[in-house]
Amino acid sequence: MSDDAVPALDLEDVLPLIDRALAEDHAREDVTSHAFVPADREGRAEVLARESGVLAGRPVVEAVFARLDPACRVEGEFHDSDRFGSGSVLFSVHGPVRSLLAGERTALNFLRHLTGVATLTAAFVERTMATGAKVYDTRKTTPGYRLMEKYAVRCGGGENHRMDLADAGMIKENHLQAAFGRKGPEAIAEAVRACKAALPEGKALYVEVESIEELEAAVEAGATVLMLDDFDLGDVRQAVRYIRTRPAPRPALEITGGVRLETMEALASAGASRISIGALTHSAPNVDLAMKIR
């Protein structure tokens, strides 16, 4: 799969973060390279995979080196969303060797993390392929990295939940406690009615429910997506049966809370159309990648 199959990452939005990362590393003040690496030495740095995965972040690497030194260029066949095996040369960076050395760590820090997010997402997506359920991320992202991490989720075959608090309405237990001092079906119904009256036209309304009774109240009040928080498999199936009795258009069901790889296939088979997983972004392990000067 090539990177044109994935909605593009708007690099203009992440350039300030790239610039901060380069400044943090004092990448233009590499005292070691300046001490004995000739200023006119040209070369290439190969990005090598020490384990298999799904690539995400090549445009970020390109931007890191372009910001550091416009003479650098990135070449190679692997693009974001491509699967790769251990030992693969993903791509190479060509240019002044001092610049390659100066940008190495910043580029790899971005690439290893984003590829980790894409790789973990792909593992969850594989467990749902026979069911038609879609895998969604959450807002449990690294501060400042949200656009990149959600892009990496897309590279892994996942879908993006709301991007931020303004993107859609979402009623959770804390909202109910803050507004009414209680939770439960009546509080949920009141909150849904209030949101529907206040939300701009076209904004989705997600409602987190903890029981079938809360689910029914949210549906009656007009919620768009019902988030089944920590439902066990039997309760998910009961929720699916209930929604199928409703007239079209029916609200979507989303499983959320405590979803693990080992439970993913069974949950996806229960009939909900969406599964959201905070771990895609907050717990994805980095993929082991290295950069070697040639």
- Main-chain phi, psi angles of 274, to 5 degrees: -135, 145
Note the pLDDT of residue 6.
83
For 224-243, the pLDDT digits (tens) are: 999 999 999 999 999 999 99
- Is 206 in contact with 227 (CB distance < 8 Å)? yes
Stretch 274-290: mean pLDDT: 98
| Residue 3 scores a pLDDT above 50 | no
140 part of the active site: yes
Give the pLDDT of residue 2: 43
Task: State mean pLDDT over 124-151.
Answer: 96
Of the residues 172, 196, 203, 237, only one is catalytic, namely 172
Nearest-angstrom CA–CA distance, 101 and 293: 8
Catalytic residue of the set 83, 140, 196, 203: 140
**CB–CB of 89/99 below 8 Å?**
no
Question: What are the strands, taking DSSP E only, across 195-251?
Answer: 205-209, 225-229
Catalytic residue, chosen from 69, 80, 149, 208, is 208
Mean pLDDT over all residues of the chain?
96
- Assess whether 208 carries a catalytic annotation: yes
For residues 31 and 201, what is the distance between their CA atoms, to the nearest angstrom?
57
Q: pLDDT for 72-85, tens place per residue?
A: 999 999 999 999 99
User: Is there a catalytic annotation at residue 210?
Assistant: no
Q: CB neighbours (10 Å) of residue 294?
A: 10
What pLDDT, on the 0 to 100 scale, is given for residue 1? Answer: 40
Is the Cα dihedral 157, 161, 166, 167 positive or negative? Answer: positive
Whether residue 172 lies in the annotated active site: yes
Exactly one of 73, 105, 112, 196 is catalytic; name it: 105
Q: Which fold has domain 128-282?
A: TIM Barrel (3.20.20)
Other CB atoms within a 10 A radius of the CB of residue 166 amount to 9
- Domain definitions of the chain by residue range: 3-125+284-293, 128-282
CATH 3.90.1170.20 fits 3-125+284-293, yes or no: yes
Pick the catalytic residue: 104, 137, 149, 229? 229
CA 86 to chain CA centroid, nearest Å: 23
Is 150 a catalytic site residue? no
